[in-house]
Structure 1
Amino acid sequence: MHTLAIEISQLFEFLKNGTSAFHVTAHSKKVLTEAGFTELKLKEPWPLERGGRYFCCPFDTTLYAFTIGRDWDLSRGIHIGGAHTDFPAIKVKPKPEIFTQGYMQLNTELYGGPILSTFFDRSLSLAGKVVTRGSSYDRPVSHLIDFQRPVACLPNLAIHMNRTANEKGTPVDNQKHLLPILGTLNDMLNKDSTLVKLLAEELDVDPSEILDYDLCLYNLEQPELAGITEEFLCAPRLDDITSVCALVHALAESQNPNRVNLVCLFDHEEIGSLSKQGADSFLPNVVVGKIWQAFGKSMIDCMADLSDGLMLSADVAHAYHPNYPAVQDVTNYPVINQGFVFKSASNQSYAWDCEALASMIALCEDRQIPYQRFAKHSNTKGGGTIASILSSHLPVRTIDTGAGILAMHSSREMMGVKDQIALSRFAKAFFE
Structure 2
Amino acid sequence: MKKILIPAVLFFSLTVSAQNTPLRKTISTKADALESKIIAWRRDFHEHPELGNREVRTSGIIAKHLQSLGIEVQTGIATTGVVGILKGGLPGPVVALRADMDGLPVTERVNLPFASKVKAQYNGQEVGVMHACGHDSHMAILMGVAEILSSMKKDLRGTVKFIFQPAEEGAPVGEKGGAEEMVKQGVMENPKVDVIFGLHINSQTEAGKIVYRPGGTMAGVKDLQIIVKGRSAHGAYPWSSIDPIVVSAQIISSLPSIVSRNINVTENPAVVTIGLINGGSRFNIIPESVKMQGTVRYFTDADEKTITENVKRIATKTAEAYGATAEVQIPYSNKYPVTFNDIALTAKMLPTLEATAGKENVLLRPPVTGAEDFSFYQQKVPGIFFFLGGMPKGGNSITAPSHHTPDFFIDESGFTLGVKALCNLTLDYMAGKGK
Larger Rg: 1 or 2? 2
The normalised TM-score by structure 1 is 0.50
